[in-house]
């Protein structure tokens, strides 16, 4: 079901929580705007498919993108897309009513991936991975059919860091969720406008704005235990040393292949010293200080 609606300029947050929401919105707009600029996420003429799940992250992403759309020096289109996966008890009226109330063009796709997943996986097994792959396939197919130039997902800074730690601990590789991604088939550009945003700020903004949140546990599946364990660990670290998760996120944008150990990224075999050294390089130890070099 597709509903075309006018997209009026977003109104300022109002109601009893308006001051808090306005303050949070300023910070989130700054972070989303910086991420869009740093990674060239949105360009003039783009048609952006904003994937909306009904959770706090995707609601916030849509809301902040609409605010930036009004201020942006380039013209781009936003269309909200939700996939109704036919989970038992899913409140299918919530998103269409909300999107119509704010005047956003939207499409509700219907695909019974729930029955597919439950028919394949034994009872009690975590469904998240297979469900996610089926959802991604349906959304990518819709994006190709409708000619969207960008697909926006609601992953935030904490998701990116948690994914990095999961891959490090469980898959022995250094990788995370990039802010901008070319799909494996080369047909889609995926963007994550919330890449610089803290989950705590998103949660506070969603609460202040009173978005009609749809719970993500309707399928009855177990939580992704590995991810939840990593998230708890990161929360404990950040509580003990505030700013640690932010430092980890910043490190993902400052990768130095020569200081790691992957010969595919750096030519360790080709390293060779010369008597003259590198032009302009100070002697080793020159930065230690005279008192330590006597």
Q: Kindly report the CATH number assigned to the domain that includes residue 192.
A: 3.40.50.620
Q: How many domains does the chain have?
A: 1
Q: Mean pLDDT score of the chain, rounded to an integer?
A: 87
Each as own residue / partner, the long-range contacts of residues 69-77 (CB below 8 Å, 24 or more positions apart, any chain) are: 69/7, 70/9, 70/10, 72/42, 74/42, 74/43, 74/44, 74/45, 74/46, 75/44, 75/45, 76/42, 76/43, 76/44, 76/45, 76/46, 76/47, 76/48, 77/46, 77/47, 77/48
Residue 217 located in a structural domain: yes
Instruction: Establish if 4 belongs to a structural domain.
Output: no
Contact yes or no for 186/90 (Cβ under 8 A) = no
User: Is 28 inside a domain boundary?
Assistant: yes
131 is in an annotated binding site: yes
The side-by-side arrangement of strands in the sheet containing 77-84 is 2-3, 106-110, 77-84, 47-51, 150-152, 189-191, 180-182
Q: Is 216 annotated as a binding residue?
A: no
Residue 7 confidence (pLDDT):
46
- Place 284 in a pLDDT band, splitting at 50, 70 and 90: confident
pLDDT tens digit string along 3-39? Answer: 555 545 455 555 546 778 899 999 999 999 999 999 9
| 128 has binding-site annotation | yes
Q: Is residue 290 part of a domain?
A: no
With bands split at pLDDT 50, 70 and 90, how would you rate the model's confidence at 219? Answer: low
Instruction: Report the pLDDT value the prediction gives residue 84, as an integer from 0 to 100.
Output: 87
Write the Ramachandran bin of 261: left for phi over 0, alpha for psi from -120 to 50, otherwise beta: alpha
Q: Tell whether 292 is covered by a domain.
A: no
Q: What is the residue range of 113's domain?
A: 13-251
pLDDT of residue 213: 95
Exposure string (b/e) for 27-41, b if CB count within 10 Å is 16 or more?
Answer: ebbebbbebbeebeb
Mean pLDDT of the region 238-252? 96
Residue 35 belongs to a domain: yes
Residue 166 belongs to some domain of the structure: yes
Please report the pLDDT score of residue 9 as a whole number.
46
Is pLDDT larger for residue 87 or for residue 259?
A: 259
* Mean of pLDDT values over 210-235: 79
Does residue 48 fall inside a structural domain?
yes
pLDDT band, residue 123 (cuts 50/70/90) = low
């Amino acid at each position: 079901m597709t509903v075309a609606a006018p997209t009026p300029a977003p109104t300022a947050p109002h109601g009893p929580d308006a001051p808090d929401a306005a303050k949070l919105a300023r910070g989130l707009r700054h972070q989303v705007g910086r991420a869009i600029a740093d990674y060239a996420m949105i360009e003039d003429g783009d048609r952006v498919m904003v994937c909306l799940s009904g959770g706090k992250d995707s609601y916030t992403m849509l809301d902040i993108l609409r605010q930036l759309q009004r201020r942006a020096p380039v013209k781009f289109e936003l269309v909200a897309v939700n996939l109704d996966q036919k989970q038992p008890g899913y409140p299918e009226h919530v998103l269409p009513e909300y999107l119509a109330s704010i005047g956003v063009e939207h499409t509700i796709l219907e695909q019974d991936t729930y029955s597919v997943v439950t028919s394949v996986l034994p009872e009690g097994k975590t469904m998240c991975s297979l469900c996610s792959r089926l959802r991604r396939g349906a959304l990518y197919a819709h994006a190709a059919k409708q000619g969207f130039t960008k697909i926006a997902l609601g992953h935030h800074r904490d998701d990116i860091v948690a994914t990095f730690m999961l891959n490090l601990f469980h898959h022995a590789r250094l990788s995370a969720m990039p802010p901008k991604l070319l799909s494996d088939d080369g047909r889609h550009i995926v963007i994550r406008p919330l890449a610089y945003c803290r989950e705590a700020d998103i949660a506070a903004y969603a609460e202040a704005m009173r978005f009609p949140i749809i719970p993500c546990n309707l399928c009855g599946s177990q939580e992704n235990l590995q991810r939840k364990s990593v998230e708890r660990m990161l929360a404990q670290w950040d509580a003990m040393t505030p700013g640690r998760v932010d430092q980890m996120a910043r490190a993902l944008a400052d990768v130095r292949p020569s200081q790691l150990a992957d010969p595919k990224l750096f030519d360790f075999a080709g390293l060779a010293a010369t008597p003259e050294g590198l032009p302009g390089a100070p002697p080793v130890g020159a930065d230690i200080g005279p008192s330590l070099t006597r």
